[in-house]
Structure 1
Amino acid sequence: MPHIEATSSSEDFLKSLGFPTIDVHETFTHFDFTKPGRRVLLIGPMGSGKTEFAARVWRDAAIAQKKGEAVRKLTSTGSVDRRKVFFIRSEIDGARFTDYPEDALAYRSGYIRCGDNIARIKDSFGLEQVIKDNPTVGTYIIDEASFFDERLAYVVRNCSLEKGCMFIFPTLVLNFRRDLFNNTARLMLDIATDVIPLTAYCEHPDCMDSAFYTYRYYSIGGKECPALFFDPLIIVGGDKTKDSSLEPNYASRCDKHHYLPGKEYTFFTLKPLGEAAGRGDSAPLVKEIEALKCNKKASILYSNLQKSYGDSPDGEKYLNSLLPDYTAEKALSFLFCEQNLISEQLLQRIVFDLELDINYLTKTLSDNRRPVSFDQPYLL
């Protein structure tokens, strides 16, 4: 990314020419397609312009393709030409940008059309097939790579080394919890040759600081309700603002305005309850899940939030995190999907005994790659 050159020697030189002192930035140049094997991570919060940067790469490639044989030799390795660009998205990302054409590389302020050079894939095996079907393509833009399986990182690394292909990843590396998104994100950092960090303005109405984090919240009756720490890691939905307990909204936020209630509760209470349940003592977990469903003020979660944030200036906002529905379902999903602490049989027993929302859980568990069928009652 461009950075400010502010050395005393440059300031003295400008003064000697009679110019006022100014900040001189590096030139924001066109994209370089001559270097083989690059694996470029574009990282930053939602709204920081990652996909728009990728669209700029696409436009630069279109210009570079108009050049002659001498340039082709510079941008090619064997049969692949890095000026030929292919755009890839995840199949589970289909709900986003529904107002755009099927072949659109869409971002928040517009889109460009990719024609036949676009595909949606399910996993790393799908990527291998796309590469096989397009033997002369030299640059692949893979949107939200963290949505894919870990194997993708090694498919990318091997292809870049063997064929000279370049890969560009506009992707979240941190999730809404400010943790590494998942193992795929960790491996992408391991194999990257270039990392380009992007920021955005903090989207809090009273702030102009740089935002590095993606903030998840629900809107309930016009109130901002921060997502609890154990909210499902992946929630597939659209990009439009929603007033709903089912689908969250996202914003880029700075440290101060990135609210994340329930982290202490998750590790201090919820996870130990799940561990005890996994050892056979499920009664305390069932009691807490029932409170989260039927009477949140009777839950340990409420007591924890009240104690931690009740007297703070943002206390009301933190407590708003209890307004959305499905808190009990989210807690169980976290213990089953991410922590692997409770069995499928125990999950089903709690779901049926407490009459939790099966439709919500079916979709959430499927989106997070731990599908469970609730068609039949659990077996003792």
Structure 2
Amino acid sequence: MGNRAEYDSGDFLKSLGFPEIRVHQSNGHFDFTKAGRRILVIGPMGSGKTEYSAKIWRDARVTLEKSDIVAEQTRTGDADRRNVFFVRSALDEKRFEEYPEDALAYRGGYERLGNNIASIRSSFDLEQLISDFPQMGTWIIDEASFFDERMAYVIKNASDKWGLVFVYPTLILNFRRDIFNSTARLLIETATDVFPLTAYCEHSDCIQDSFYTYRYYSVGGQECPALYFDPLIIIGGDQKKEDPREPNYCTRCDHHHYLPGKVYTYFTLKPLGESAAKGNPALLRQELELLGNNVKESELYSSVLGEQEDGLSHSQVIMNALKVPCLAEKALLYLFVEQNLVSSGLFKQLAEDLNMDREYLISRLADSGRTLRW
């Protein structure tokens, strides 16, 4: 349909004596007349996902000034889809400390939503909000992938039953370029519409389209890419960080999205965890000790060194990944939190025997919703 429209428009302009050009559909106003939609807005950081949400809010302000004739087109039962409610994760509040409490904040500005905004922790909280605000017909769930899997079906049931529209601007791919989690996968499966957004690659030498979120650390002013087994979930703000234990994020294209250590993770680290799970932790202990005290002798160093390519400028950047502190802690967390190959008892034993950074471990465990008694 889209190609036919472009062809017809081109023929029409040509018939008027204009040169043949490609005509694209404009980014129109939000359609509040269509009920029951589940709109997935995807893209990397900086692609305008939240600004897309702010535009829906501004469009709603305009349409609410229309007559009752319009209301008949935008209402299903008690809910009017011109009434927009914005929901964010309570775990992500650090991102918005510098803004008013009722701000829908995006790069370059914010909209104040008054009582039409709330922070929640789970899909059960969303159900309660929908019950408390039955007049709200459009619900924007910021970073919906951060919530429990049940969220996808709460959204689907509410949209099917009451004609509510849900918009969820969210990351679908994590810094590893994998589907973020099972919630993200379910959101894709249950969506009715998908709007993909891109951003410019944030590498200083590049202006290509970017689809990927890139995680890196700053060590002595140098860019140090996160290794593949870096903790998947790290809660924090978007501000630039110089602490080498805290990550920074930007968006990058294929060529400038560096992700060293993937081969090592599956070829070496995970098998060591599997061996430990069978009661043989000696080789894992040895590798973790090297990661903490003598990384150049570790299997990780050999593997990352093999990822270099002669004559390419990114080779040194890849090796910088080994300058980031807490490599042993990150490897152990990966095996414990994500792979469930290391028991809590062995986790604590290895952390104590190898004198790991307990503060770092506790912080990253909390990010993943895990706790341990030491």
Quickly say closer, same or farther: Cα 1:296–1:3, change in 2 above 3 A.
Answer: farther
Structure-1 separation of matches of 2:6 and 2:187: 33
Cα distance per residue 1:217-260 (max 9 Å; x no partner): 11111111111001111111111111122221111111111110
Residue number in structure 2 paired with 1:110? 109
Shift of 1:311: 3.4
1:82 equivalent to 2:86? Answer: no
Superposed displacement of residue 12, structure 1: 4.9
The aligned runs of 1:1-380 (5 Å cut-off) are 7=7, 10-309=9-308, 311=310, 313=312, 314-374=314-374
Gaps of 5+ in 2: none
Distance 1:37-1:16 versus aligned 2 partners, 3 A rule: closer
- Is the 8 Å Cα contact of residues 43 and 171 (structure 2) preserved in structure 1? yes
Aligned to 2:307, what secondary structure does the other structure show? helix
How far is 1:372 from its partner? 1.9
CA distance in 2, matches of 1:372, 1:126: 26
Aligned identity (percent) is 58
Distance 1:3 1:349 in 2: 62
CA contact (8 A) 2:10 2:23 kept: no
- Over 3 Å counting, the alpha-carbon distance change for 1:12 and 1:82 in structure 2 is closer
| 1:19 Cα deviation from its structure 2 partner | 2.3
Determine the C-alpha separation between the residues in 2 that align with 1:326 and 1:289. 10
CA distance in 2, matches of 1:336, 1:349: 13
8 Å contact 1:220–1:323 — kept in the other structure? Answer: yes
8 Å CA contact retained: 1:88, 1:143: yes
Would you say how many aligned residue pairs link Structure 1 and Structure 2? 372
Q: What code does the residue aligned with 1:136 have?
A: Q
* Cα shift readout 1:27-64 (whole Å, capped 9, x = no counterpart): 22100111111100000011100000000001111111
* Residue 308 (structure 1) shift: 2.1
1:145 and 1:359 map into 2 onto residues whose CA distance is 29
Please tell me the residue identity of whatever aligns with 1:272. Answer: P
Q: What secondary structure sits across from 2:169 in the alignment?
A: strand
Q: CA deviation at 1:4?
A: 11
Q: Contact 1:5 / 1:23 at 8 angstroms: preserved in 2?
A: no
Structure 2 equivalent of residue 377 of structure 1: none
| Change beyond 3 A, Cα 1:5–1:23 | farther
Tell me if structure 2 keeps the 8 A contact 1:45–1:252: yes
Structure 1 residue 366: deviation in Å?
A: 1.4
Is the contact between residue 245 and residue 326 of structure 1 (CA under 8 Å) also seen in structure 2? no
Contact 1:87–1:142 (CA<8 Å) still a contact in 2?
yes
* CA distance in 1: counterparts of 2:336 and 2:214, whole angstroms: 24
Task: Please list the CA deviations of residues 269-316 of structure 1 after superposition, one character each: whole Å capped at 9, or x if unmatched.
Answer: 000000000110001001111111111111110011112216351211
The alignment's TM-score, normalised by the length of structure 2, stands at 0.96
In structure 2, the CA distance between the partners of 1:236 and 1:300, relative to structure 1 (3 Å rule), is same
Q: For 1:4 and 1:226, how far apart are their aligned partners in 2?
A: 44
- Change in 2 beyond 3 A, CA 1:188/1:24: same
Q: Bigger CA drift: 85-94 or 239-248?
A: 239-248
Helix, strand or coil: the match of 2:356? coil
CA RMSD of aligned residues (A): 1.5
SS at match of 1:94: helix
Tell me, yes or no, if the aligned pair for 2:260 and 2:307 is still in contact at 8 Å.
no
